[in-house]
Amino acid sequence: MSVHKSAMKKIFTIIFATILFAVSAFGQTIENSSRSTIGYISASGTVENSSRSTVGYISSDGKVEDSSRNTLGYINSNGTVENASRSTIGYINSNGTIENGSRSTLGYINSDGKVENSSRSTIGYAKGVKMEHAAAFFFFFFKPKD
């Protein structure tokens, strides 16, 4: 009987681990202000639209690319956002304030994942998404259509 229990525990553990991996592989959901899904960002940095078509990539070194792997820009570790020519186009501040290249506020990303424009109106949600990735999606490289 204990051999059977041990085998069942192993099977359960394998199934649970597989489900957990499958769920995490899909990435985090990006929603608009009405809570409709407008995209996804995986843990590896793949950016997808609501139809799950890849629209770009954000690599671990901060390079941002379109779906054809053309460089769109860079998110530097100090929060500076640059275009493909390495000109500064914005800033992602550690307090969640997102600014353009002239330091005017574009919006905010709150710790709960709520994304707001400069007037503090909610424009979307990115719960569980890295602040830099949410900023790239909403304000710089993958701006959702209004």
| Beta-sheet pairing, 97-100 with 46-49 | unpaired
Per-residue confidence of the chain (146 residues) as pLDDT tens digits?
Answer: 555 666 556 654 555 444 434 444 456 999 999 999 999 999 899 999 999 999 999 999 999 999 999 999 999 999 999 999 999 999 999 999 999 999 999 999 999 999 999 999 999 999 999 999 999 999 999 887 65
Rg (CA), the chain: 19
70 CB-contact burial (10 Å; exposed 0-12 / middle 13-18 / buried 19+): exposed
pLDDT at 17: 44
Residue 112 main-chain phi, psi, to 5 deg: -85, 5
| DSSP-derived secondary structure letter, 54 | E
Cα separation values, 39 from 84, 105, 118, Å: 23, 24, 22
